[in-house]
Chains A and B, each alone.
Chain A
Amino acid sequence: MAEAFVPEKFVGKPIERVEDEALLRGLARYADDYPARLDTRHAAMLRSPHAHAEIVSIDTSVAAALPGVVCVITGADVQEYVDPFLNIVKAPMELWPLAVERVRYVGEALVLVVAMDRYIAEDAVDHIQVEYKVLEPAVNPEYAASEDSPTIHEKCDSNILSDREFTYGEPDKAFEECDRVVKLKIDFPRSSITPMENYVVMADYHPAEGVYDVLANFQGPFTVHPVMCRALRVKNTGLRLRTPSNTGGGFGIKVAIFPYIVLMAVASRIAGKPVKWVEDRLEHLSSATAAPNRVVEIEAAAMNDGKVTGFRLSQLDDYGAFLRAPMPGPLYRMHGVCTGSYEIPNLYVRNRLVMTNKSPSGMVRGFGGPQMYYAIERVMHRVAIELNLDPLAVIRKNLVAANAFPYHAAAGAVFDSGNYQAVVDMAVKEGRLDEILKRRDEARAEGRIYGVGYAAVTEPTHSNMGYITTILTKEERAKRSPTQGTNSNATVSVDPFGGVSTSTDVPPMGQGHATLMAQIVAEQLGLQPTEITCNMEIDTQKDKWSIAAGNYAARFTSGPAVAVQMAAKMMRDKLAHIAAPNLNVPVEEVEFGNGLIFARDNPDNCLKFYRVAGTAHWSPGSLPEGMEGGLSESAVWTPRQLTAPDEKDRINTSLVYGFNIDFCGIEIDKDTGEVRIDHYVTAHDAGTILNPLIAHGQILGSYSHGVSQALFEEFVYDEDGSFKSGTFADYLVPSATEVPEPIILHMETPSPHTPLGAKGLADGNCMSTPVCIANAVCDALDLENIQVPLFPSKISALIHGEEQPPPAQMAVVETKPGKSDSAITGTGSSMVPADPQTVWDTLLDPEKLAAVIPGCHGLDQVAENDYRAEVSLGAGPVRGKFLASVVLSDLVEPTSVTLAGGLDGPLGSSQGEGRVRLEAQDGGTLVSYEYSVEISGKVAAVGSRLIEGGARVVVNQFFSRLIKQVEAPGSVTMGSGSLSLFQRLLAWLGVK
């Protein structure tokens, strides 16, 4: 070989993914594809239809007796085997795997059925009867934070579980001395990224060893593993947790599976069988998790030249009904970067976390960044407008200077590397900002609505476990054992035939980690990436892992990838030491390539890779002195920059910090208010890029989430806490027609804090894109502020001004507001051809009333004016059986009565009240009524379109039956009228 050998490089190349072969053939193994033991049984859960209620009684007898049902488990049963889950603030808030005594959000699981299959388990769930006493809910976070609010956890003093203030620099002085204070209030909604694969848990309790053996599509962080073990009353070895080869998307969501891991573990113990649970989409949307909605009040101290000298940030983060590990991460993992990408030395932060009657919040891609940057980048935009400056000029004016790195941000983040100005310049030039601005001018000249927005984001990646302790005061921190830093583990092994395998501590969620591992290992060992076997399964009983393990905070490229490289280098070094004596060259001259190990200066002097590998296995006795036999190298990477919060509460929340600047042009349809993204540019500097194909894909996905956060996705709760986004028809995940492709640009400024120089880049657009689009809409419509999602309905109200009133002669019925905006309300009247006393007697006679109520199978009087009934009701084609309660009060015979009541059934629940007045008129009775009904549970979550609008018909039906009854008693037979609309009846009396 005449030419000098050039080792083949894979890191940095757009290598096709090694994962794809199996995925494209349908041969990948997701959790639900793993073989189950033949005696595996299947679980389904009864979930609360109420946002807040006491559980008065649970009757599982019918369900338990169904053929094929193994057992029915309640919260009380589970309490025998578990303790409540720990939480960081040590609040007296008991989170159990199944609700105990109270339910606190719609969708909270309270009974578990284990049966032969899921079909039967669901049948049994429908036969469980629960009596609830409905409590006042607290749904809005500001209301929940107020003194007027009911307390969600009775042992807590209030719904505020933590209230911390932080001051860095001299914010008061900055605000006194500035030229202008710019304020905004942000109400950032609740959403999730809803991976396409739902949760899967398969649990098997081994009584001989006292070990819970669980397979689950859990993504980490494994800091949650000890939380599960404490709940299960075992040491970490007592919960053998395994994760599958493939998982259908994580996005943070797949940490919140952990209460179900504990639940299924216990269920398997109680059932004496392996228990499998595959979550369905309705369960997932209502109960899995969501990014916390947040109310942010932000103030910026600005000088007339656009320089911002201080921020005040007050954040109220809504964690739903329970604070679940690793919450409140979204507040504190961003803490170090509360000043964004800017050199702002003065900062005041107040962080409150509040409990509400909504599903518990959790980890969602972006992890606090979308909420925080929405406030920061909106206020920066606003500073520019108020000072009559160009928004991009204000961003540039304040960006951390290129010569300031490593930059110590006010709250403690240490920005490792970057050149933000250069990224902005690149974006402006290559992203063709001038064209967009020209397009805006042209559009406006033609009377079209067009706007341009910007957003700059410093993206923290690879979290410091210590950040969460910033929530504690320094005194509290001093009392506990220290938490700081992270570990990443990886192993590289070579078998006797030269086969190479590698593993690390990250359950794959689809990003392509195996490809990156294969690139790194192949490059070190002179092999091809396709020759490397990447085993992506994790088994906590066998694998090397530590509690920082997991797939989160974009830690892979700066964490586990580094550990993989370290282990691969160790392996290379060992093989080089074995080969050197045989090649008769010094170790440093041993080179790897093309499946050979050879002398660098004389490649013909070579050994086959597998032969060298074989030596360590077949002939350990011949290894060099002092060398251990076998070929398995493990490495742990522990970066030292990640320290605990200091005395002044400064915290370097993450190891590395990427940067991206986005701008976009959007056009709004003048008639429909629809927002169309005309042009979107996102320019990134995430340090060294390990695989451009994968990096590109991560940005596209993140951007897509940003678009959907801006325009589509929100978990909607009514004020009564009922959940309205229970299907993919209600919760709007955008499709290919809604997400245009952006222009993606890159710069690479390697990080000095990590050997590969790489930073994460998968979260940046989740943070930048929502606010970038919102800024463009504010620009287009000249708005001070706007909240996402930017539904066309919302935009229309802004652009269409005051509505054209109805024609003068038209009577528009004003519906009387109920106790909340969400209630279905109505008023009306009907003539009944009988005197008031006859009508009164009909209403007060249980038998006659039963005949009048459509679908009623009989009314039992349980006390004076207090009835229970079983009713069959339907809305359109939907029918269901319900237990109804009706209470009559404020009786003024024979002129008025109030009917209040509720319905409970598998389809959901309702609570309502109606006032009925009887007035003699023209020989008959004018019956007039008004009502207000709240509906929750499944029908509210999935059938809101059905529920609206039915009231008139049901009321008409009721009255037609009433008329028949008073005209010819007995002519109306019970139970014949089951065609009536479910809500309509609900709407009538709140009889549920």
Chain B
Amino acid sequence: MKPRKFDLVRAETTAEALAALSEAGGEAKIFAGGQSLMAMMNLRLLEPSVLIDISQISELSYIKEAGDKLEIGAAVTQVELLSWPGLADRLPLLHQAIPHLGHFQTRNRGTICGSLSHSDPSSELPLCLATLGGEVVLQSVRGERVLSAANFQLGMMTTAKADDELIVAARYPFKKPGEGFAFTEVAQRRGDFAIVAVAAVASGDTFRLGVGGVADKPTVRNWTNLADENLDDELNAFAWELKGSDDIHATARYRRELVRRLGRRVIEEAKACRS
């Protein structure tokens, strides 16, 4: 299990990284934290001919408030975000979800944007991005564009990011007054990719449920003024619509079961902690 040969670009600025991406013409991969990428390269599932290391680009290593969102640069690790002082109060969903993401040791290196770029359907950060209605900032030598989570996440490990684009930042909306949040997941072991992960946001008469691990990308549903007696049927319909499949760890039926049961659990929790 050793990677194939590649040229390595150690970018020091974003512009250098973008230039290298452009030059590589689709044959490059971005190395941010490498926690998914290097594993796949060691398994030779990936064979980029150029690897662009952006982990040392200081201008991408920032966490800042951008209006009603928190903007997280591409070189920011998961542990850095977890240590951001306002996380628990202002982004309670991320605060609950990140500890489920991998392990202490992988969060030390893995980045927020890297996880979004990998776009695993079971992964926590893409689910939170979708549920909160966040966005990603993409840059290339051609310019910059901002995509909403819904427009960014296309399918199984597939995003709208073009070959020459770099995710330079992700933006997660802050908690608004009156909102409540809840997250939970079932994984075989601590730190594993979730069999099903659910995230809920409640505000006033509205609530929203995001589900990861079932469809080929995180999927979000909104409800307004839903009577409680109809919630189970709504969740059931949602569970079936997600068209989950069997794998060696869980059946599609189990996934639906978790959408129904954990879905209700987090919705109730989110409602209970609206503030």
Contact = CB atoms under 8 A, between A and B. Distances in A.
Complex A–B touching at CB under 8 A: yes
Interface of A: 118-119, 122-123, 126, 280-282, 671-674, 712, 716, 724-725, 727, 729-730, 732, 734-735, 737-738, 791-793, 796-797, 800, 803-804, 806-807, 810, 812, 875-880, 906-907, 938-939, 942-946, 948-950, 953, 981
Contacts of A712: 188-189
Interface stretch (B15-23, B43-51, B85-93): B43-51
Nearest to A671: B261
Contact of B189 (A732, A806, A945): A732
A950 B1 contact: no
Contacts of B3: 119
B27 to A, nearest CB: 10
B265 A716 contact: no
Interface stretch (B69-77, B140-148, B152-160, B171-179): B152-160
Nearest to B233: A807
Given A729-B193, A793-B254, A672 B240 contact: no
Contacts of B122: 945
A796 B254 contact: yes
Interface residues of B, number: 51
Contacts of B245: 948-949
Contacts of A738: 189-190
9 contacts: A123-B5, A672-B261, A730-B248, A732-B192, A792-B250, A807-B233, A875-B156, A938-B44, A948-B247
Given A806-B236, A946-B156, A727 B249 contact: no
Contacts of A945: 120, 122, 193, 247
Given A734-B189, A877-B40, A939 B257 contact: no
Contact of A126 (B40, B44, B45, B191): B44
A737 B190 CA distance: 7
Contact of B257 (A732, A803, A812): A803
Interface in B233-250: 233, 236-237, 240-241, 245-250
B221 interface: no
Nearest to A281: B1
B191 A735 contact: yes
A735 B103 CA distance: 11
Contact of A729 (B2, B118, B192, B237): B192
B189 A735 contact: yes
Contacts of A729: 192-193
A105 B167 CA distance: 43
B26 to A, nearest CB: 9
A326 B158 CA distance: 48
Interface string B237-275: 100110001111111011011101110010000000000
Contacts of A942: 43, 45
B159 to A, nearest CB: 9
B115 to A, nearest CB: 13
Contacts of A734: 189
Contacts of B240: 806-807, 810, 812
Contacts of B241: 810
Given A712-B188, A732-B192, 8 more contacts: A671-B258, A712-B189, A732-B249, A735-B189, A792-B188, A810-B240, A880-B47, A950-B155
B216 interface: yes
Contacts of B265: 671
A389 to B, nearest CB: 35
Nearest to B241: A810
A281 B253 CA distance: 32
B40 A878 contact: yes
Given A281-B1, A738-B189, A812-B240, A949 B40 contact: no
B43 A282 contact: yes
A123 B4 contact: yes
B195 interface: yes
Interface of B: 1-5, 29, 40, 43-47, 118-120, 122, 155-158, 186, 188-193, 195, 216, 232-233, 236-237, 240-241, 245-251, 253-254, 256-258, 260-262, 265
B235 to A, nearest CB: 9
The secondary-structure label for the interface of chain B is: loop
Which are the 5 A-B pairs with shortest beta-carbon distances? A876-B157, A793-B254, A806-B240, A737-B190, A793-B250
Contacts of A806: 236-237, 240
Nearest to A948: B245
A879 B216 contact: no
A821 to B, nearest CB: 9
A792 B186 contact: yes
Contacts of A981: 156, 158
Nearest to A983: B156
A906 B44 contact: yes
Given A671-B262, A944-B247, A950-B156, A807 B186 contact: no
Nearest to A125: B44
Contacts of B157: 875-877, 946
A716 B248 contact: yes
A552 B240 CA distance: 51
A280 B1 contact: yes
A374 to B, nearest CB: 21
Contacts of B118: 877
A734 B245 CA distance: 24
Contact of B248 (A724, A804, A812, A906): A724
A684 B261 CA distance: 42
Given A281-B1, A804-B236, A877 B192 contact: no
B253 A797 contact: yes
A118 B3 CA distance: 10
Given A712-B188, A810-B241, A939-B45, A791 B249 contact: yes
Contact of B44 (A122, A737, A948): A122
Contacts of B190: 735, 737-738
Contacts of A122: 1-2, 44
Task: Determine which residue in B5, B44, B118 has the highest number of CB atoms from chain A within 10 A of its CB, and name it.
Answer: B44
B1 A282 contact: yes
A803 B1 contact: no
Contacts of B247: 944-945, 948
Contacts of B257: 796, 800, 803
A792 B3 CA distance: 35
A981 B5 CA distance: 23
Nearest to B238: A807
Given A806-B237, A806-B240, A879 B258 contact: no
B156 to A, nearest CB: 5
A793 B2 contact: no
Contacts of B186: 672, 674, 792
A877 B43 CA distance: 13
Contacts of A946: 156-157
A11 to B, nearest CB: 39
A810 B237 contact: yes
A154 B258 CA distance: 48
A958 to B, nearest CB: 16
Contacts of A875: 156-157
Nearest to A737: B190
Contacts of A943: 45
A756 to B, nearest CB: 40
Contacts of A674: 186
A673 B257 CA distance: 10
Nearest to B185: A672
A50 B203 CA distance: 54
Given A122-B44, A672-B186, A792-B186, A876 B158 contact: yes
A735 B249 CA distance: 17
B2 to A, nearest CB: 4
Contacts of A807: 233, 236-237, 240
Contact of B188 (A280, A791, A876, A880): A791
B155 to A, nearest CB: 6
B195 to A, nearest CB: 7
A876 B119 CA distance: 9
A463 to B, nearest CB: 34
B46 A803 contact: no
A945 B121 CA distance: 9
